[in-house]
Structure 1
Amino acid sequence: MPPRLVLLCGTAFSGKSTVARKLAPQFAATIVSLDEINARRGLWGGDGIPVEEWIRTHGEATTEARALLAASTSVIVDDTSSPRFLRDAWRAVAADFDAEFTLLYLDIDPEVIHERRARQDRRDLTDEVLTQHLADFDPPHADEQAVYLSSVDQESWKGL
């Protein structure tokens, strides 16, 4: 059976990391988290990270995912996956290894995002960075055939 690459897509506080942790056992997958890679690199995303640093982080994530797929291990990529060119690049990685590709979009209302952030009382994002992030977010286009999740309710995951 070929490996699978599951790409999570969604804004900050949409539940991507929660979904990744819950799906990983189902697919016997390893999570590649760009937030974790940034942390290893000493970067804090909530304060804003320069584009050139995000490019390096994506490079490290791609290298990790490629190594896992080469070993026939399925991968869940935990990232916002915005803009589209990043999603297209992950599709190409999956194709390089004949891996099944699934794009999961956590389509969460911005009001819920703000509520979650307030409830969690975390320093993850400054107000300015969150506002810009929500304004700039590029959700999947119709031709990308994303699976839309409107919550982190596992019942909506059946058939993935």
Structure 2
Amino acid sequence: MPLPPLAVLLAGLTGSGKTTLARALAARGFTRLSVDEEVHRLHGRYGVDYPEDTYFAREAPALTVIRDRFTAELGAGHDVVLDHGLWRRTDRDTWKEAARTAGGLPVLVHLPATRDELLRRLAERNQRADANALAVTPQALDDFLARYEAPGTDEHPITYPGDVDRLSVLLEQARRTGHPPA
């Protein structure tokens, strides 16, 4: 019996390293799906081509496009990494169910980072102009921190070990056993 395709779901704040990790997994054969890049494709640059306070309204159609691709890729037997923050447990639960329905095995990977580390990374990123460079002020980061629901142990997350090779071993272990390693 073939092993199920993996649906790697990333949980982390803006600047935690989700895109970097998703790109590294894509280089290993995963299909990378980025909500921010789809919003950029549809609407342009955050805070430049549209007002920042309209992001979530613009994100909704992008989420639909990405969710359709997510389920299609899993249904075709392809491993997928979702490059999206999944800040709320309800969102994580929704994507896990979509993965299961499509025949995939959802695996939650948490990318924790301290406020100071996030500020350092965001200061660098705020200088860029690409789709993944949404400018974030320290005040906005504080708002994000207040709203972020870190995964609980009952969600069985893999805490990103900081090494894509080690994570790949953990992901393959999850695929073979049908659940994330303890």
Q: TM-score range by the shorter chain?
A: 0.7 to 0.9
Structure-2 separation of matches of 1:129 and 1:49: 15
Q: Unpaired runs of 5+ in structure 2?
A: 129-133, 172-182
CA shift for structure 1 position 98: 2.3
Residue 90 (structure 1) aligned with residue 95 (structure 2): yes
Q: Describe the shift of the 1:68–1:121 C-alpha distance in structure 2 as closer, same or farther (beyond 3 A).
A: same
Asked if 2 retains the 8 angstrom alpha-carbon contact of 1:43 and 1:49, the reply is no
> In the aligned structure 2, how far is the partner of 1:132 from the partner of 1:20?
25
Higher RCO by CA contacts (8 Å cutoff, separation 6 or greater): 1
Mean CA deviation greater in 44-53 or 133-142 = 44-53
Deviations 1:10-63 (A, max 9, x none): 00111101101111233x211010111111111544634443333322222101
Greater Rg, structure 1 or structure 2? 2
1:25 is matched with 27
Per-residue CA distance 1:90-145 (angstroms, 9 max, x = gap) = 11111112211110010111110001112344262231433322221111122100
Q: What SS class does the counterpart of residue 159 from structure 1 fall into? A: helix
Q: Report the TM-score when normalising by structure 1.
A: 0.87
After the TM superposition, which segments of 4 or more aligned residues of structure 1 sit over 6 Å from their partners? Answer: none
Matched residue count? 158
Paired residues of 1:34 and 1:78 also in contact (CA < 8 A) = yes
The answer (yes or no) to whether the contact 2:75–2:103 under 8 Å persists in 1 is: no
Query: Structure 2 CA distance, aligned partners of 1:138 and 1:44?
Result: 26
Cα distance change of structure 1 residues 63 and 82 upon mapping to structure 2, 3 Å threshold:
same
Counterpart residue number, 1:4: 6
TM-score, scaled relative to structure 2: 0.77
Counterpart of 1:125 (choices 100, 114, 135) is 135
Identical pairs, percent: 27
